[in-house]
Chain A
Amino acid sequence: MRILCCVKRVPAPGARINVTGDGLAVDAAHLGFTTSPHEECGVEEAVQITEREGGEVTVLTLGPAEAAEQLRYAASVGAHHGVLVQTEVEAWDPQRTARALTAAIESLEESGGPFDLILFGNESADSGGFQVGVRVAYALGRPIVNGIKGIETDGSTVRARREIDGGFEVYELAMPAALGVKEGINLPRYPTMRGRLASKKLAITTMEIDAEAGGQALVRLHRPTETLSQTTILGHGPEAAAAVVDVLEELGVL
């Protein structure tokens, strides 16, 4: 199996997200960066499939030079190859991103053969455009289903599970295929010391691809107006239980 995973480097916020002075980006001065959560699970899923069935995992990202960090992290948990489409400005619109990724995948497939399965995150944690995977899959002529939280493969088809209220749906796609996966599909492993060491030696393929901008443009980021709630302290420790149950009675949930 040849599996490709597309990942995005995103800031790792804590309790509050701040915006830069010009309003064009998240102020990451005091934040670390991470792989967008759905995609981290995508990498884990790809590694698990190749551990079961053999094959190789290639991880592809589009972003600044620093995004190599996310490729190395993927390698430290079992991915075999890393490809970086390096951009100068960080925020590309969804159409432009999709066009560049499509060109990158076409080039990778030309030299290395087709990928049986391409995994995307359902949506990125930051901009959340909900479309890049769909656009790329369509351009490549591959079927794609989003929202996937379970994958079984048998070499020629992939059975994919998607949660709905009170159960799940099953889709069956003939490979080559693409899927948009969600966190919860697995529990990503932590890198081992050996994995970390190996990832330092990962040879990253860097591509420079420009693509035509799409129609959506960022003007400014801002924080939503917070409705400051006045927290009523009902008490300290177990003695507060009676006050809590009064509240529950008042709300009519008892």
Chain B
Amino acid sequence: MLLVVLEHDRGTLGEPGREALTFGRTLAVKMGAEMHAAVIGAGAPEAAGPDAIAAEAGDHGAAHVYTVDSEVLSDFGPEAWGESIALITALVGADAVLACGSERGNEVMAQAAVRLDAPMVANCTDIAPPGEPDGQWSMTRVQWGGSLLEDATLSAAGPALLTCALHTVASSPAKPAPDSVPEVQTVDIDLPSELARTVVKERVVLEAGVTLPTAPVVVGGGRGVGSAEGFAPLEELAELLGGRVGCSRAVTNNGWRPHSDQVGQTGTRIAPEIYIASGISGAIQHWVGAMGSKHILAVNIDPEANMVVKADWAVIGDLHQVIPAISAEIRRRWS
């Protein structure tokens, strides 16, 4: 049986949880096994909660859903989640455990793996269950944030712990729709109160509205912008388009923009309808953060720049002239 860990935030199922179910559905077929799912913690009283999550898991193909709750699961805590996953895995006898390779997903699976003294393979894009004659799992996984792929094997005496790389699949409910609702079973586990030591203590909301990971348009600037002040025209264009400004690592390393604006392997992965990348050469570090964009428009003086070559559209020219001209043209058409 394949057990899928459903990432939720205080009782609200997120896209990573749905992706894990969608990826897991295919894997379970390859394993010739049922897909079950686990909901860790009841979540906040105002949230949809485990029953609603279980129903959605059913729509996505889970045959059986386990729920656990405890005082130390009142909010997210990597150790409490990891311990829960390890205990459920052992109790229900899962052959493999899968979560989405989000920040939390990879973290809690690592916590579960060390507790089970088991290997864990992070960020897989394809997984094949053990075959003859060696009985090893084989998989392809992401290295260098997606610039390289690694074919790997996993030999495990116990369950195989796996995560699927974020956005490897687009989430979708099972088709045809399952004809029965999943059985929901509350599992009794004993979590030491000590695990509260890594539970979220408080939350701070900084901004409402459009954020970099969810912006429909991102206007990016790189070394070519030249200074912090040079970003003003990019800000203006982003505002006109209801988007956000992003930047490359060179920019944050120069202190021109805060790191929270960085698009890249060590920054934010963006997925806008269009990414307008100006003055950005397109080094690996940046590209892996930008490659999820549906369309890319590059503005660069160098027609050979990696970003230009990889873009759908390009304007060859100085961004300091091109970007204000685009804003002016938008205003002209609106007036």
Contact = CB atoms under 8 A, between A and B. Distances in A.
Interface of A: 13-17, 19, 26, 37-38, 93-95, 98, 122-123, 125-131, 134-135, 138-139, 143-147, 149, 159, 163-174, 180, 182-184, 187, 214-224, 229, 231-245, 247-248, 251-254
A219 B146 contact: no
Contact of B198 (A163, A164, A171): A171
A238 B313 contact: no
Contacts of B281: 15
Given A229-B311, A245-B330, A254-B330, A126 B115 contact: no
A13 B306 CA distance: 13
Contact of B114 (A129, A135, A159): A135
27 contacts: A37-B249, A125-B145, A126-B144, A130-B106, A134-B78, A134-B114, A145-B78, A146-B107, A166-B206, A166-B211, A168-B206, A184-B252, A184-B262, A187-B252, A187-B255, A224-B148, A229-B310, A238-B322, A238-B325, A239-B325, A241-B328, A244-B322, A244-B326, A247-B274, A247-B297, A253-B216, A254-B333
B: interface residue count bin: 35 or more
Interface string B136-170: 00100011111111111111100000010000000
Contacts of B274: 247-248, 251, 253
B201 interface: yes
Interface in B253-294: 253, 255, 258-260, 262, 265-267, 273-274, 281-285
Contact of A238 (B109, B156, B317): B317
Contact of A17 (B114, B206, B273, B284): B284
A41 B79 CA distance: 24
Contact of B317 (A125, A165, A172, A236): A236
B203 A168 contact: yes
Contact of A237 (B282, B314, B318): B318
Contacts of B148: 17, 19, 26, 221-224
Contacts of A251: 273-274, 295
Q: Which residue among B148, B255, B309, B330 has the maximum number of chain A CB atoms within 10 Å of its CB? A: B148
A131 B122 contact: yes
Nearest to A13: B284
Interface string B97-138: 000010100110111011100111111000000000000001
Interface string B222-262: 00000000000000000001110000010011010011101
A15 B206 CA distance: 34
A173 B205 contact: no
Nearest to A93: B119
A15 B283 CA distance: 4
Contact of A184 (B76, B82, B260): B260
A214 B53 CA distance: 35
Given A134-B114, A170-B202, A171-B199, 9 more contacts: A37-B265, A131-B114, A145-B78, A147-B103, A215-B118, A216-B152, A221-B148, A235-B317, A245-B333
A183 B252 CA distance: 10
Given A126-B144, A167-B205, A254-B330, A248 B322 contact: no
Given A13-B147, A166-B211, A216 B198 contact: no
Closest 4 CB pairs of A and B: A184-B259, A215-B119, A238-B325, A131-B110
B156 to A, nearest CB: 5
B179 interface: no
A244 B153 contact: no
B200 A245 contact: no
B151 A220 contact: yes
B120 A234 contact: no
A45 to B, nearest CB: 13
B266 A219 contact: no
Report whether over half of chain A's contact residues are helix, strand or loop; otherwise say mixed: mixed
A163 B142 CA distance: 23
B30 interface: no
Given A138-B114, A165-B214, A13 B76 contact: no
A254 to B, nearest CB: 7
A169 B113 contact: no
A170 B204 CA distance: 8
B39 interface: no
Contacts of A165: 211, 213-214
A218 B152 contact: yes
B241 A125 contact: no
A128 B142 contact: yes
Contacts of B197: 143, 173-174
Q: Which residue among B146, B274, B315 has the maximum number of chain A CB atoms within 10 Å of its CB? A: B315
Contact of A128 (B123, B203, B241): B123
Nearest to B328: A241
A253 B217 CA distance: 7
B189 interface: no
A253 B267 contact: no
B273 A253 contact: yes
Contacts of B177: none
A217 B156 CA distance: 11
B46 interface: no
A128 B151 CA distance: 14
